[in-house]
Amino acid sequence: MRKKSKFYKIYFSVIVLFLILLIAGLAVLYTWLRSYEKSQPATIVNTIITNYLQKGDYKGLVKDMDLKISEFETEENLKGVLSAAVEGKEYSIAHSSFKPEGIDATFVIKAGDEKVLNVYLKKHKLDKGYDVDHVELSKNLLKTIEIVVPKGTEITVNGIAVPDDLRTDNEFKSLPETVDVKTLTPTQTAKITGLLSDTPTVAATENGVAVEVSQNGNTYTVAQTIDQATGDKIKEIAEKAAVAYAAYMQKDGGLGALASLCDTSTPFYKNVASSITMFVKAHNGYRNDDMQVSGLTKYSDSLYSCRVSFKHVLLLSDTTYTDDFDKIVFVTKDAKGEFKVIDMQAPVSNSDED
């Protein structure tokens, strides 16, 4: 009996030990599987949706997910933009083929049909799981503006000073040789990317005094000290020349109207006069809508420019065709004190190519 009793003790002890090891092993396996599942891309991205977007924890996105926002923006603006983008919409995720250097997988979070966040993942060093490297706002939520400003003028965007390293001197690409560009005071352009608002607050001061800032689309122009009578004359000449140019190129007006406003010795006028390419589309009438003359700029006492934009609408029965006109018009004052147009150039593109 003693041998039998001892056998059962050993037998049951082995079974108990086996069960303990089995339970411990299953617990470890369960923990590993849960950890593995949590580190899989789809799970990670869905967790971001659940823990941050659905809860409206946008500060958490900045803190925990390393979401970068522009130095000219605030977390309050981030909240407003993301709330508007996701409110009342169903979420979905999609894999992206775009992978920046050092990133192993990229996913896009959508709210309805609109892209909201890009999620960048990196693999664990020791296993097959992933970690969030960072997240970014989708580019369709971000805005880019350009500010044309005289040198020495201080500018702010949403109350934050724009540093010098964001400004570049504007070049005079094709002015007539009679204009000595070395004697001119060039303007600068500050390109501000990653903005959240369609209407950022752009302000400027010169020697502590507030300066007027005008807007044309995504371009803001800081005003200079220009005699009002001179400024009005420049804008009048530029607008008339732009209208005459648009009409001539559609065969709605003769070259004489443009010639009376231009320096006819310039390459600009000669190119227009000799051009055999006309932007003509069949029509029996036209009108000019949304006329805007902005960005009056002074480079010297004899050279100015302003931006002229409008819609040249061609009419044909019940249909219309719109030709968008948008040019920087350069105007010079000659020795006789007369103002003449010497060039028209396309404005600098404000698209964000980064």
How many CB atoms sit inside 10 A of residue 15's CB? 10
129-158 per-position pLDDT tens digit: 788 889 999 999 999 999 999 888 999 999
What is the predicted pLDDT for the residue at 252? Answer: 82
Adjacent-strand bridge partners of 312? 288, 323
What is the predicted pLDDT for the residue at 123? Answer: 84
Weakest-pLDDT range from 32-36, 69-73, 217-221: 32-36
Weakest-pLDDT range from 4-8, 173-177, 200-204, 218-222: 4-8
pLDDT band at 350 (very low <50, low <70, confident <90, very high): very low
Residue 230: pLDDT above 80? yes
Sketch the domain layout of the chain as residue ranges.
38-140, 143-345
What is the predicted pLDDT for the residue at 142? Answer: 92
Q: Rounded CA gap, 234 and 236, in Å?
A: 5
Please compute the mean of the pLDDT values over residues 261-282 and round it to a whole number.
83
What is the predicted pLDDT for the residue at 143? Answer: 92
pTM of the model: 0.66
- Burial label for 352, CB within 10 Å (0-12, 13-18, 19+), is middle
What is the predicted pLDDT for the residue at 346? Answer: 87
Q: Is 239 helix (H, G, I), strand (E, B) or coil?
A: helix
**CA distance to 57, 222, 309, per residue, from 291 (Å):** 44, 20, 6
Provide the mean pLDDT of the chain. 84
Residue 72: pLDDT above 80? yes
Residue 344: pLDDT above 90? yes
CATH architecture for residues 143-345? Roll (3.10)
What is the predicted pLDDT for the residue at 354? Answer: 38
Residue 277: pLDDT above 50? yes
- Phi, psi values for residue 315, rounded to 5°: -110, 135
Share of the chain above pLDDT 70, in %: 85
